[in-house]
Structure 1
Amino acid sequence: MNFALKKLTLTAALASALLAPLAGQAHRMWLLPSATVLSGNDPWITVDAAVSNDLFYFEHFPLRLDGLVVTGPDGNAVKVENASTLRYRSVFDVHLTQEGTYRIAVAGHALFASYKVNGETKRWRGTAESFAKDVPANSDELKVTESETRVESFVTRGKPTTVALHNTGHGLELAPDTHPDDLLAQTPARFRLLLDGRPAANVKVSVVPGGIRYRDQLGGIETATDADGRFTVKWPAPGMYWLEASTQDAQTNVKGATSRRATYAATLEVMPQ
């Protein structure tokens, strides 16, 4: 497979991941830290980032790191070290120089369009900046979808803190009532979903434990947010879990877009009681 074809195939796969509800499809986007709770004088973590069929296995495509931001316990951005994109995964290191909780996030924004030219259906995907240049303004049956994505995980050195958990006010985000690095098996945890900083009501939430390669069934948990955007998860067992949610509305941020899909995914570690 030549380079151009590889790039086209990767773009198509990521576009599918952005547009479809994440739990209902084969390809899932995730970040996986080597540890979520650490101590010691000089802790580091390595984070894997991938788009895969089976959770937390590298067998499809790397997750690109263009929108990667690590927020430290003081609320400031933390330098990422040794970042590299490999054949099946991206990888990077984070030096945890401060005590407290870090938020690791890859956020993305894209447009997807379908239209007709001389009766022939065309499809396009790209950035808001290239939309006006690439898509004819007088296209027939033009439909444009804006996509906002956020993929996260959380890591704590020492005592958990909350400054890094503050939301940006853009897209679909998690505002945890229970700290994401203080999750225990058989113990309910409460979370809140926000859309553009406001409660995201009636949004379906799926939680899937890792290791699905070795199970006949996903073993997932399905729930939904209430009117205030809150939902509760009771973890059946210790381990790594993948939480996802998505919603669609007409609150677009780009002129010409007719709908918006906002998606959120997080990797969480649940400890034994």
Structure 2
Amino acid sequence: MKKSIALIAALAALALPLSANAHRAWLAPTSTSLSGADAWVGFDAGMSNGVFIPDHAAMNLAGLTITAPDGSTAQAENMSRARYRSTFDLHLTQQGTYRVANVMGGLIVSYKQGGEQKRWRGTEADMAANIPADATDVVATRTNSRIETFVTLGATSTTALAPTNEGIELVPVSHPNELAAGEAATFKFIRDGQPLANQQVTIARGGARYRDDPEEMTVTTGADGSFTVTWTEAGMYWINTSVRTAAQGDQMAANAQYNGALEVLP
């Protein structure tokens, strides 16, 4: 039963755009800028009411992908999943910037069989073999979710920041590990490699548990998918945007969302 409830919650998170009251997904590092020949960074990942506050559910890290500064894949260590958060460590052995992302995607298919409402989730290639021939009212939705952050050992680099052109991605114009309070930073959002224009972006600073004002702001991307934000204070910031597209002709419905964590230094 617990597994079924967790699956339903995960599907709902992928299927619906986030609102001010929805549970928010985040992947937060203990540090983002480190020095030395090597270093360790810890990560927490969860779904919560307030950003970076583990109070709802741990994140499934099945899609965790860590890109090292040279473009190779690094491995997480000491992975653990508790009730409210998942954790892991990353040993930084290369100089430069790492991209740490939990990427999930596939199809969510709802249908009726014998009058009973059913649901299946999997890959597009497996859909035909898993939806019964007598199924009716079949509705398929393509989903993609990216939850990520960035950490740097030594000087920053850009190789790991190259987009994959799948789903919604943040393309840094300003480097994500060179952010400072009082300074403006510019980023671009793309979806499947194309600019995500006129898109609403939510930005929230962590630590809201101890403030009356949640200190959230909303910006809108330009025609090229870019947006600029001036950081008023230092801290860890959560960035979110989501898109829901209705089915059109042969094109199935699609939901995509992005959740990022960026540290702004004093």
- TM normalised by structure 1 equals 0.90
Aligned to 1:87: 83
For residues 216 and 122 of structure 1, do their structure 2 counterparts lie closer, same or farther at Cα, with a shift above 3 Å needed? Answer: farther
Structure 2 residue identity aligned to 1:168: T
**1:69-84 residue pairs with structure 2 within 5 A?**
69-84=65-80
The AA in structure 2 aligned to 1:109 is G
Tell me the distance in 1 between the aligned counterparts of 2:201 and 2:134.
39
What 5-or-longer segments of structure 2 have no aligned partner? none
Q: Where does structure 1 differ by over 4 angstroms across 4 or more consecutive aligned residues?
A: none
Q: 1:15 offset after TM fit, Å?
A: 1.4
CA 147–235 in structure 1, closer or farther in 2 if over 3 Å, else same: same
Query: Of 251, 265, 271, which residue of structure 1 is paired with 2:259?
Result: 265
What SS does structure 1 have at the residue aligned with 2:175?
coil
Aligned residues of 1:149 and 1:264 also touching (Cα < 8 A): yes
Matched AA of 1:259: A
In structure 2, relative to structure 1, the CA distance for the partners of 1:251 and 1:26 (3 Å cut) is closer
Deviation at 1:190, TM superposition (A): 0.3
Report the Cα distance in structure 2 between the residues aligned to 1:56 and 1:124, rounded to whole angstroms: 31
Identity, in percent, stands at 45
Contact 2:38 2:153 in 1 (8 A): no
TM-score (norm 2): 0.92
- Pair 1:52 & 2:62 matched: no
Which stretch has the larger CA shift, 151-160 or 75-84?
A: 75-84
Q: In the alignment, residue 172 of structure 2 is paired with which amino acid?
A: P
The 1:23–1:267 alpha-carbon spacing in structure 2 relative to 1, beyond 3 Å, is farther
Deviation at 1:179, TM superposition (A): 0.4
Secondary structure of the 2:3 match is helix
Q: For structure 1, which runs of at least 5 residues remain unmatched after alignment?
A: none
Match of 2:243 among 237, 240, 247: 247
Contact 2:17 2:244 in 1 (8 A): no
Q: Which moved more, 1:147-156 or 1:39-48?
A: 39-48
Which of 176, 187, 190 is 1:180 aligned to? 176
Residue aligning to 1:14: 10
What secondary structure does 1:237 align onto? coil
Where does residue 113 of structure 1 map in the other structure? 109
